[in-house]
Amino acid sequence: MAEDYVLELEHIRKEYPGVVALKDVTLQLRRGEILGLIGENGAGKSTLIKCCSGAVIPTSGKIRIKKEKDGEVKEFTRMTPQLASENGIAIIYQEFNNVGELSAAENMFLGRPILKKNGIVIDRKAMEAEAAKAFEQLNIKINPRTLVKNLSVGYQQMVEIAKAIQQNAQVLIMDEPSAPLTTNEVESMFKVVELLKSRGVSIIYISHRLEEIFRLSDRIEVIRDGEYVDTLITDKDPATIPHQVDDLIKLMVGREMTQKYPPREPCIRNDEVVLELQHVYGNGDEDISFQIHAGEVLGLGGLVGAGRTEIAEVIFGAKPKESGKIIFMGKEINPKSPRAAIDHGIALLPEDRKRHGALLTNSIKNNISMPIYERISKATVINSKLEYSIAAGYKEDIQIKCPSIHQLVKNLSGGNQQKVILAKWLAAQSKLIIFDEPTRGIDVGAKFEIYKLINDLVEDGVAVLMISSEMEELIGMSDRIIVLAENKIMGELQKDEFNADTIMSYASGVIPENKKEAS
């Protein structure tokens, strides 16, 4: 170790039966730096950090850790959770390891409580005092006695970070820490991260949001398809950032990306209304009325919790409607189940792909055929040739990257999982496709492909309802935007009126100045 590295991963390789998750990744973390780790989904970031935590055993490679105290260097071929914590490595996962029913202090000392002198009874006071000290160090105000379930997501994360610091972590690995946070919470998290850095803690920061990486990191390491690609020194000069972003995206996807949103010829068929909602109430939403035409992308904007997913669930038959009319292809419908909606030609790609969208433990082929099995069967017997050719056809058409359509969906990257779900609805010949956060958690390259697929859909005359919290995506992809706030429609914007500020004020429940006269 020539330089002052606290953690070195050397030629880490991880093979699963049939898949190589990590081919050869090397990573060096200097003392007191923030290293941004980026790569497309499926590039192997999560597997890599799991090798550090001991959750995954590398097939080959070495992990070297330098102890802070004596500078002693230890070399491992694998970690265990125990070893990781003994050697000062802590990981903040996307899903927290908190127990909601316990207090913040109890969570911090979970599994290693401070005991009273008798060695039996837990010393709650001492734990609370220690926890308060740790929070103070991080400049955060959390009452150690508060139950974790009553804390906001941002504070829950802080409890995790405080726990790591309390355990004297010298290396902190953060996996997409900003993903569940609100804008304000992200700011406070940044402050804590910077504070930790100034105290000499070394941090690996994983994120899809490049602007965060630029703001925080000292160096950026890029991995692609399980291989180390390059490490760049971050230049924080705002003028050079757009260039650097381009370079990074190129490194991540290994190809040039000219545009973020693929161009689309206008293809709205204004005389062909696919879906019309008339004063629909239900699932918490109130008085929702709008139309979608064939060949149109209708964007549904608003803040999280504004009732966008809720109205999608009503249209898809997953939640009951209380009153109002849903008119689909000129006929009033009242879908009581997703099955009924699917049979009409309505499809939903849910926000939470892994829980609601893909059948992870089933093959790609079975996922794609799931809604149409009864159609491709005779007397309940599946026409397996047809089943295979349909799935294989969509694999080619929309380029699902996989060795075989018999592969389980859980082994695919987020983007490819989304494509499998889309293929399912294409197979079902849907006329209206609802995308709920179509590119959430999907890397840049795959995002572009999803956008192209949406374009292909509308060009074929499919109507698309797109719920999105990403302002750029909403503006870049929609033909028209409806903004919801507090379960009601706040406003509608035509293509020539698209403007992030206007959308934001509608979303906050405010009618913007320039719109007041019109309405």
Q: Which of 377, 407, 469, 508 binds other proteins (CB under 8 A)?
A: 377
* C-beta closer to other proteins: residue 297 or 312: 312
- Closest distance of CB 89 from other proteins, Å: 17
The 413-432 site mask, x for binding other proteins (CB under 8 A), equals -----------x---x----
Q: Which of 57, 121, 122, 304 binds other proteins (CB under 8 A)?
A: 57
Q: Which of 273, 370, 392, 511 binds other proteins (CB under 8 A)?
A: 370
Q: Which residues contact 440 (CB under 8 A, 6 or more apart)?
A: 351, 353
The beta-carbon contacts of 55-62 under 8 Å, at least 24 apart in sequence, are: 55/81, 56/14, 57/14, 58/12, 58/13, 58/14, 58/22, 59/13, 59/14, 59/15, 60/11, 60/12, 60/13, 61/9, 61/10, 61/11, 61/12, 61/13, 61/25, 62/8, 62/9, 62/10, 62/11, 62/12
Retrieve residue 149's tokens.
């379930």
Q: Among the candidate windows 131-139, 212-220, 227-235, 355-363, which touches other proteins by CB under 8 A?
A: 355-363
Q: Is 256 helix (H, G, I), strand (E, B) or coil?
A: coil
356 binds other proteins (CB under 8 A): yes
Q: Which of 445, 448, 420, 418 is nearest to 43 (CA)?
A: 445
Strand residue runs (E) in 72-118: 73-76, 89-92
82 binds other proteins (CB under 8 A): no
Q: Is 135 helix (H, G, I), strand (E, B) or coil?
A: helix
348 binds other proteins (CB under 8 A): yes
* C-beta closer to other proteins: residue 107 or 367: 367
Rounded-to-integer distance, Cα 404 and Cα 400, Å: 10
Q: Which of 331, 355, 385, 516 binds other proteins (CB under 8 A)?
A: 355
Handedness of CA 48, 50, 51, 56 (dihedral sign): negative
Q: Is 341 helix (H, G, I), strand (E, B) or coil?
A: helix
374 binds other proteins (CB under 8 A): yes
19 binds other proteins (CB under 8 A): no
- Closest distance of CB 52 from other proteins, Å: 13
CB 98 within 8 A of CB 160: yes
Rounded-to-integer distance, Cα 283 and Cα 312, Å: 10
Integer CA distances (angstroms), 211 to 36, 235, 240, 441, in order? 11, 12, 12, 16
Rounded-to-integer distance, Cα 369 and Cα 373, Å: 6
* C-beta closer to other proteins: residue 231 or 362: 362
Rounded-to-integer distance, Cα 8 and Cα 254, Å: 25
Q: Among the candidate windows 22-30, 182-190, 325-333, 359-367, which touches other proteins by CB under 8 A?
A: 359-367
Q: Among the candidate windows 183-191, 376-384, 455-463, 486-494, which touches other proteins by CB under 8 A?
A: 376-384
- Closest distance of CB 329 from other proteins, Å: 18
- How many of the chain's residues bind other proteins (CB under 8 A)? 34
* C-beta closer to other proteins: residue 118 or 361: 361
- Closest distance of CB 204 from other proteins, Å: 20
Q: Which of 151, 153, 215, 216 is nearest to 182 (CA)?
A: 153
344 binds other proteins (CB under 8 A): no
- Closest distance of CB 90 from other proteins, Å: 19
Q: Which of 129, 232, 359, 392 binds other proteins (CB under 8 A)?
A: 359
316 binds other proteins (CB under 8 A): yes
Radius of gyration of the chain (CA): 25
338 binds other proteins (CB under 8 A): yes
Q: Which of 39, 177, 226, 350 binds other proteins (CB under 8 A)?
A: 350
Handedness of CA 470, 474, 475, 477 (dihedral sign): positive
39 binds other proteins (CB under 8 A): no
Which residues face 491 on adjacent strands? 483
Q: Which residues contact 394 (CB under 8 A, 6 or more apart)?
A: 368, 400, 423, 426, 427
83 binds other proteins (CB under 8 A): no
17 binds other proteins (CB under 8 A): yes
* C-beta closer to other proteins: residue 367 or 455: 367
Matching residue, tokens 């606290």: 6
Q: Which of 61, 299, 301, 357 binds other proteins (CB under 8 A)?
A: 357
Q: Among the candidate windows 123-131, 353-361, 448-456, 504-512, which touches other proteins by CB under 8 A?
A: 353-361
Which residues sit at the interface with other proteins, rule CB under 8 A?
Answer: 17, 55-57, 316, 318, 337-339, 342, 348, 350, 355-362, 366-367, 369-371, 373-374, 377, 380-382, 384, 424, 428
